[in-house]
Amino acid sequence: MYALHMLTERLQILVTPEQRRRLQSEARERGASVGGLVREAIDARFGAFSRQARVEAVEEIAAMEGGRSIPPDELNRIFEGERDEEFERLHARDQA
């Protein structure tokens, strides 16, 4: 998903009538724009980030020190506990 302010580059392409028909049909089915489908296809084919950006991110993560890794199921349990506590807090406030 792109915010409109992120879209600053215009690109003009030529497609066959069949490609246009397929894009318009898919866009209509999804409730999306043809441009949105084209952006999605570009990201799916080439990645949302350049290879260099991904390499730099991996290097930055590898350089981190003192962090703690939490397995996904433990992270879910923590999140659910915090959500339940917040629900109980709001419920108690509404009852008061």
48's tokens: 């949302």
**Do both 61 and 75 map to the same domain?**
no
More confident residue, 20 or 45: 20
SS3 for 84? helix
- For 11-20, the CB contacts below 8 A with 24+ separation are 13/38
**Do both 61 and 78 map to the same domain?**
no
**Do both 80 and 43 map to the same domain?**
no
**Do both 24 and 54 map to the same domain?**
yes
**Do both 49 and 81 map to the same domain?**
no
More confident residue, 72 or 14: 14
Query: Which residues span the domain enclosing 79?
Result: 70-96
Interval 50-75 mean pLDDT: 82
SS3 for 12? coil
SS3 for 70? coil
**Do both 55 and 91 map to the same domain?**
no
The pTM for the full model equals 0.48
**Do both 42 and 75 map to the same domain?**
no
Count of structural domains within the chain: 2
What pLDDT is attached to residue 3? Answer: 62
**Do both 59 and 13 map to the same domain?**
yes
